[in-house]
Each structure stands twice: as structure tokens, then as C-alpha cells.
Structure 1
Amino acid sequence: MMSFARKYVRIVDAINYRVGRFSMYLLYVLMGILLWSSISNIIRQNAIWTLEMAQFTMVAYYMLGGPYSLQLDSNVRMDLLYGRWSDKKKAWVDAFSIFALIFYLGVLLYGAVDSTVYSLEYAERSATAWRPYISPIKIIMVIGIFLMLLQAFAIFFKDLAKARGEEL
């Protein structure tokens, strides 16, 4: 079991590390889009695509960077009691509480897949003047949620090993 968990954690961490590092560069894309929006407003050229494209880029940044953030343990935690506990007790509590995140991500993934399938079947478009297709960003959201779910299981395996006195 531990060899499977070790291999799983290594693979998921490697994938989320690379995807997360890639998603960091989406901020530069976002800045370029917003810069173009500002320039086009100054020269009175109406760029109707910039607002939605900036929103899509930000969604991709958050959704693809989320698993990397989870991997680095850079999430916000309420530290009322947690900070005083031993590492072993923290690992047991984390191993138990990760199931709330896994349940939430499972429900979110189910809804995201359903919404993406609908979007693909009916060629769903935005209701703005630009009218871009919505399915590409929904696909990115499904990928991000799926990667976060995989990372949550990897964290569970790490916490379980730490609670048992081992290291993955």
C-alpha cells in the first residue's frame, strides 16, 4: 500500500508542480490583456474582448494554480488549537478533515462535468457583444478541480504516513 501511495504522491505532486508553475505565467498574460484594454481605450479603439478574456485568464490562473497552492500548504488555516498540537496529532486531524475537502471537490467536479457537457452539446456562448464560447474555460475548470481532487488524496496519503511516523 505504501509503495502505491508513494508512487501516487510523487506523480501527482510532479504534475501539479508543473501545471502550477505554468499557471503562474498566466498573470503576465492577464497583465498584457489589461494593458491592451487600457491602450485601446486611450486610442479610442473599442476592444470588446478584453474584459471577458481577462476574466477567463483569471479563472484559469486560480483553477490551475489551486492544486499547486494546496501542494505547498499555502492555504489559510484557523490556528486556534491546531498550532499547539504535536505533529502527529496535526497529521491525524488533517488526515480526517481532508475528507470534507474531498467530498466538496467531488460534488464540485460532478457539477462541473455536467455543466461542461451541456456547454459542449449546445455550443454555449456568453451573452455579451463578443459572444465567446464558454466550453474552453469550463474544460479548464474541470481539469483544475480534478487536479485539486488528486492533490487532496495525495495530501491524505502524506498525512496518513506522517501520523504513522513515516514520511512519503
Structure 2
Amino acid sequence: MHFLLRVAAGIDWLNEQVGRIVIWLSVLMILIGVYNAGARYIGAFLGMHLGSNAYLEAQWYLFGIMFMLGGAYALRHNAHVRVDVMYGRLGQRGRAAIDLAGSVILLMPFCAGAIWLSWDWLMFSWSIGETSSNPGGLPRYPIKTVVPLAFALIFLQGGSQAIKSLAVLIGHRGGDRSASGGAAEGSSR
């Protein structure tokens, strides 16, 4: 169990780092938006076109990246939506059982299916060098790459949550040092 908890800690660390990087993409997205809006008005005043579809698409891409890659970070911090009918009333072991079952039966198979279903779509996009249909738009294949990557990170984080929940269920002392939430710390959302 010590080895598995170290693996879980490594996954937690990875998703923490990805999440911290992704958070900063919001600043870049805002700066691009401010430039794009300002360029549109200044360009209209000067009689020039200073904006670009690439800037608009860059904003969309950054938002998509934040949303997709932020999923594993949210799961790690128990910041995802939870329908709390019984969960909050259960003890630590009951929450651990629900978290383990949810990860292994629902979350991880869903992520595996999403990766499998998006793979051919992604490979086709890369094979043709898919680009935006908008004039001056950006290539589409890089943003499409984020889809299976995001589901892979969520899959890994689901595995980490499952390991920590299992540790709680078997009474292993390391199971209570869960990242921040879920079964091991007793938070409910």
C-alpha cells in the first residue's frame, strides 16, 4: 500500500503542477481579450483593421485548455460538483467506499472511453493538418490534442483518488493524508 500511496502522491503532484500552470492561462486569455477589444475600437477610429480571428480563437483555445486540463485539478481538490444526498451524512469509511466505487465504476471507464473515442478524431485532425475555417484562424489539431490528454489526467487522478479511498477502507494510516477532500478528509460538497 505504501507504494500505491506514493504513486497516488506522484499523480497528485502532476495534476497540481498542471493546475497551477493552467490557472495562469486565464491571465493570458484576459490580456488577449483586452488587446482584441482595444484593437477593434482603435482600429475603427483609425480606419484600420487591427484585430484578427487568430486572437479570438486563441481566447477560445485558452478557455478550452483551462476547462479541460483543470478537470483533474478540480477532482484532486474535491472542487467538482457533487450531489450530496447521503455523502455528507456518512462517516469517513462510507465516503471512501462511495469515492472508490465512483472512481472505478464510473469515472475511470468514462475517461477511458472518451480517450478511445477521441483518438481517431485527433489522429485524423493531425494527418490533414486541420485548420480553422475562419480567415487567419489557428490550426485545430493542437487544441484537439488537449481532449485525450485532459481525460488521461482525469483518469490518473481518479486512480489516485481510488488508491487513497482504498487506503481509508483498509485502515491504512497513509490514506488519511489525501490531497484535499474526498473520503480521506471528510469534506462534502
Identity score, percent: 25
1:109, distance to aligned residue in structure 2 (A): 0.9
Among residues 160, 163, 167, which one is paired with 1:157 in the alignment? 163
1:68 is paired with a residue whose SS is: helix
Among residues 51, 58, 78, which one is paired with 2:56 in the alignment? 51
- The TM-score with structure 1 as length reference comes to 0.93
8 Å CA contact 2:53, 2:137 repeated in 1: no
**1:95 matched residue in structure 2:** 100
Task: Report Cα offsets for 1:113-160 as digits up to 9, x if no partner.
Answer: 222111111111121122321111112222222111111111011111
Aligned length: 167
8 Å CA contact 2:57, 2:137 repeated in 1: no
2:53 is paired with a residue whose SS is: coil
Q: Does 1:70 align with 2:75?
A: yes
1:87, distance to aligned residue in structure 2 (A): 1.1
Task: Report Cα offsets for 1:49-76 as digits up to 9, x if no partner.
Answer: 2221110000111122211111111111
Among residues 119, 134, 138, which one is paired with 2:125 in the alignment? 119
Cα separation, 2, equivalents of 1:4 and 1:46: 53
Cα separation, 1, equivalents of 2:157 and 2:109: 13
Structure with max Cα Rg: 2
Runs of at least 5 residues in structure 2 that lack an aligned partner in the other structure? 44-49, 176-189
1:48, distance to aligned residue in structure 2 (A): 2.1
Cα separation, 1, equivalents of 2:137 and 2:106: 37
Cα separation, 2, equivalents of 1:31 and 1:95: 38
RMSD (Å), alpha carbons: 1.3
